[in-house]
Amino acid sequence: MKNKGFTYIEVMISFSVFALMLIVVIKMNNAINFIMDMNNKTLQTIHIAQMEMENYKSGINNISDFFTRTGFEFTDQQTDEEGSVVSRTLEDSDVNGFYVRIEETAEDDDISEVIVIVGSSAADPDAFLLKSKMLKN
What is the mean pLDDT of the segment spanning 23-28? 97
**How many structural domains compose the chain?**
1
Domain housing 114:
8-135
Per the domain annotation, does 128 fall within a domain?
yes
pLDDT at 65: 62
Higher per-residue confidence, 32 vs 59: 32
Q: Where are the beta strands (DSSP E) in 9-110?
A: 73-79, 85-95, 98-106
Give yes or no for residue 42 having a pLDDT over 80.
yes
Higher per-residue confidence, 133 vs 17: 17
Q: What is the mean pLDDT of the chain?
A: 83
Q: Percent of the chain at pLDDT above 90? A: 23
Calpha distance 74→121 (Å, rounded): 17
Per the domain annotation, does 92 fall within a domain?
yes
Per the domain annotation, does 52 fall within a domain?
yes
Calpha distance 28→19 (Å, rounded): 14
What is the mean pLDDT of the segment spanning 57-73? 67
Per the domain annotation, does 1 fall within a domain?
no
The answer to whether 128 and 117 are in contact (CB under 8 A) is yes
Q: Is the pTM of this model over 0.75?
A: no
The least confident of 7-16, 83-92, 95-104, 117-126 is: 83-92
Calpha distance 79→36 (Å, rounded): 44
